[in-house]
Amino acid sequence: MSRFVQPVPPPVDPYAGDGLLRSWLERHLGPAGHAAAKGRLADLAADVAGPLRAAHADAEAHPPTLVRYDPWGARVDRIDTSAGWQAQRAAAARHAVVALPYLPDARGTWGAAARVAQHALLHLYGPESATFSCPVAMADGAAALLSLPEVDNGVREAWLPRLISTDPAVAITSGQWMTESQGGSDLGRSSTIGRPAVDGSWRLTGEKWFCSAADAAMAVALARPEGSGRGSRVLAPFLVPRYAVDSPLAHGLAPGAPAPGVTVHRLKDKLGTRALPTAEIGLHDAYAVPLGDPAVPGLVRAMTLVVVTRVHNAAAAAGGMRRGLAYARAYADVRHVAGGALSSSPLHRATLGTLAVDAAGAFALAGHAFALLGRVEVGADPEAAAELRIVAPLAKLATGRLAVSSASEYVESFGGAGYVEDTGVPRLLRDAQVLPIWEGTTNVLSLDVLRALTREDAGAPLLARLAAAVDLARPLSPVLADTLASAAAQLDDTITSVTADPGSPTVLAGARGLALRLAYALTTALLVEHAAWGDEQAALAARLWARRWLRHEEIAEDAHHHLDLLC
């Protein structure tokens, strides 16, 4: 008797096969703008389905190693990475996943919507990147920080062109050294000290506990300028060069030699993101240059970077959800159960359809955050800035949670094979779990949302968007419009009451619930907006999302019937 071997579906084209992505681009970039992006997107999609899948597998199979000493005993603290990781690095540069929104021709073509085009690249690139999407996010954050007018021109000119280079031989990425063992969320406890040196540069001394992309050529480190006092506001961002790339590190070091004062204690042994080197790093009088005037409280400057990495996190969550869905759907077509294809089972179709609704919502949230970011950067749109203040944490927290619950379902949808390492499926779940943790856990972001609501009136732009969406929803579905109107009214009441007593234990205990309700209502509004533009899939997703997340209803029957439209 011959042994049964399960056929494996070929990889789907992540651009051609994603109707929501394409219609989103058609709406936000316009037909001509979308046409201008198609070549880039198709090229990246082809790479993702081919060489980058292989590079991804190689990087996962060969995690980074720390080489502390050279053969003669000299301390080198070198991090060796796999060929797959290097291929991901080169692809990120070549496909401009960091660079795009900074490139003059991209800004000329798409204006503020260059960030929308970049989000599309990230949506395609991230899931098969072996989490090179993390250094990409931090490089983008560092580039945004270096672009601020407060940053010294010489520093900007030395580093920004490399961060946004599309030449793999020139491009660099950046780390981001904030977390210390006594506090990741509680930055006020940071104890790394910055002292000015005679030449205008600074020296940093302290311990950084979680430093991802530890192989990057530079890092942005938070440090407390000596004498600046306690708390988190005064913490200032500094650029720490890791290696002697030509200038501006004036140590007389040979190119590629490690900068003095930086010790890599060890690499973390992590649940997921295994190809990504995350290190514990000690700084002892490490050379650094300030990003902005260290005498001016610097946390606000550093938030420029944090907002960028938070929206990247949302993009990674939404991209991973979409790719997991595509895998699970394709597998259901080839796997047979109970005498037929798994994809003909009403129950399995309902499971996939429900996941598709969540994936659509996450995509809209991430996409909206990128659209706002673009409007802030190009044209300094104050309305977009006010909305981004609350949308960035909301998008990050809601998509992070959805990514984990969805990844668990994707693994389960492969049955036992989903639990077996070399199918590549288990890492969907492992890698998803970092998304609600880093750059602010759900609770920490919920408190940030509460601060934004009570101190910065950040509810106003959100409630205005919800009100406009109620009008747009009316012709699509009166029930949908009523559901959204009722959610908006309840949120308005809650915001009024929390603002009256923001520090009460009841308000603090309810912060996560409030943030999630805000995110679910916002997502409904975003799907309604896309539906009102004419997207049928978004219209269905909006109705089902609102029933699932605003009314807490079972949507299995509709999800089963309409699976083909949903994904």
Ligand X SMILES: Cc1cc2nc3c(=O)[nH]c(=O)nc-3n(C[C@H](O)[C@H](O)[C@H](O)COP(=O)(O)OP(=O)(O)OC[C@H]3O[C@@H](n4cnc5c(N)ncnc54)[C@H](O)[C@@H]3O)c2cc1C
Is 443 a residue that touches ligand X (CB under 6 A)? yes
In whole angstroms, what is the distance from residue 428 CA to residue 51 CA? 19
CB under 8 A, 24+ apart: contacts of 469-476? 469/524, 469/525, 469/526, 469/528, 469/529, 472/528, 472/529, 472/531, 472/532, 473/528, 473/531, 473/532, 473/542, 475/532, 476/528, 476/531, 476/532, 476/539, 476/542, 476/543
Binding status of residue 184 toward ligand X by CB under 6 A: yes
Q: 252 by DSSP, 3-state: which?
A: coil
Residue in 49, 97, 171, 211 binding ligand X, rule: CB under 6 A: 211
Among 82, 118, 174, 179, binds ligand X (CB under 6 A): 179
- CA 261, CA 204: separation in Å to the nearest integer? 8
Task: Give how far Cα 257 sits from Cα of 70, 74, 246, 251, 318, Å.
Answer: 12, 12, 11, 10, 38
Kindly tell me the sign of the dihedral angle through the C-alpha atoms of 243, 248, 249, 255.
positive
Q: Is 177 in the site for ligand X (CB under 6 A)?
A: yes
Residues in contact with 360: Cβ distance below 8 Å, sequence separation at least 6, in sequence order: 20, 527, 537, 538, 541, 545, 566
User: What are the strands, taking DSSP E only, across 323-383?
Assistant: 336-337, 340-341
Measured from the CB atom, is 247 or 504 closer to ligand X? 504
Cβ atoms < 10 Å from Cβ of 90: 16
Nearer CB in complex with ligand X: 213/528: 213
Q: Which DSSP letter does residue 128 get? A: G
Conformation bin of residue 202: beta by default, left when phi > 0, alpha when psi is -120 to 50 = beta
Q: How far is the CB of 134 from ligand X (least distance, A)?
A: 7
Name the residue nearer to ligand X (CB basis): 51 or 183.
183
DSSP per-residue letters across 405-472: HHHHHHHHHTGGGGGSGGGT-HHHHHHHTTTTTTTS-HHHHHHHHHHHHHHH-THHHHHHHHHHHHHH
Stretch of 117-125, 312-320, 437-445, 495-503 lying at the interface with ligand X (CB under 6 A): 437-445
Nearest distance from C-beta of residue 509 to ligand X, angstroms: 10
Window 92-121: residues binding ligand X (CB under 6 A)? none
25 makes contact with ligand X (CB under 6 A): no
- Binding flag, residue 210, ligand X (CB under 6 A): yes
Shortest reach from residue 511's CB to ligand X, in Å: 8
Residue of 25, 112, 143, 178 that binds ligand X (CB under 6 A):
178
Smallest gap from Cβ 422 to ligand X, in A, equals: 22
* Site for ligand X contains 176 (CB under 6 A): yes
* 278 part of the interface to ligand X, by CB under 6 A: yes
Tell which residue, 310, 297, 301, 294, has the closest CA to residue 448. 310
Pick one of 238, 438, 520, 545: the residue that binds ligand X (CB under 6 A): 438
**Identity of residue 101:** P
User: Which region, judged by CB under 6 A, interacts with ligand X, from 247-255, 299-307, 351-359, 440-448?
Assistant: 440-448
Q: How many CB atoms lie within 10 A of CB 94?
A: 16
Q: Comparing C-alpha atoms, which of 512, 498, 403, 507 is closest to residue 459?
A: 498
- Contacts with ligand X by CB under 6 A: the residue count is 23
Residue choice 147, 205, 441, 497 for contact with ligand X (CB under 6 A): 441
Under the binding rule (CB under 6 A), the answer on residue 132 touching ligand X is no
CA separation for the pair 264, 488 (Å, rounded) = 50
Is 497 near ligand X (CB under 6 A)? no
Among 65, 185, 405, 496, binds ligand X (CB under 6 A): 185
Euclidean distance between CA atoms 493 and 396, whole angstroms: 24
Contact window for ligand X (CB under 6 A) among 19-27, 204-212, 240-248, 378-386: 204-212
CB of 410 to ligand X, least distance (A): 20
Q: Is 64 in the site for ligand X (CB under 6 A)?
A: no
Tokens for 225? 């300028």
Of 114, 124, 223, 447, which one interacts with ligand X (CB under 6 A)?
A: 447
The piece of 227-235, 341-349, 433-441, 473-481 that touches ligand X (CB under 6 A) is 433-441
CB of 399 to ligand X, least distance (A): 16
| C-alpha to C-alpha distance for 189 and 208, rounded to whole angstroms | 12
* Rounded least distance, CB 379 to ligand X, Å: 31
Nearer to ligand X, 278 or 406 (CB): 278
The residue (of 388 and 445) whose beta carbon lies closer to ligand X is: 445
Calculate the dihedral angle through the C-alpha atoms of 448, 454, 455, 457, rounding to the nearest 10 degrees.
100
- Per-residue interface string for the shown chain with ligand X, residues 243-272, x marking contact by CB under 6 A: ---------------------------x--
Q: Is 437 near ligand X (CB under 6 A)?
A: yes
Phi-psi region of 480 (alpha: psi -120 to 50; beta: other; left: phi over 0): alpha
Q: Interface residues for ligand X in 136-175 (CB under 6 A)?
A: 175
Among 111, 161, 168, 183, binds ligand X (CB under 6 A): 183
Cβ of residue 101: shortest distance to ligand X, in angstroms? 22
Which part of the chain contacts ligand X (CB under 6 A), choosing from 17-25, 176-184, 328-336, 424-432? 176-184
Handedness of CA 215, 218, 224, 225 (dihedral sign): positive
Q: CB of 395 within 8 A of CB of 365?
A: yes
Minimum CB separation of residue 510 from ligand X in Å reads 12
The Cα 298–Cα 225 span in angstroms is 10
Among 23, 133, 173, 212, the residue binding ligand X under the rule CB under 6 A is: 212
Distances 316 to 38, 139, 396, 399, 531 between C-alpha atoms, Å: 21, 15, 10, 9, 24
- Residue with the shortest CB distance to ligand X: 184
Q: Does 273 bind ligand X (CB under 6 A)?
A: yes
Q: Indicate whether 459 belongs to the interface with ligand X (CB under 6 A).
A: no
Contact footprint for ligand X (CB under 6 A): 175-179, 183-186, 210-212, 270, 273, 278, 434, 437-439, 441, 443-444, 447
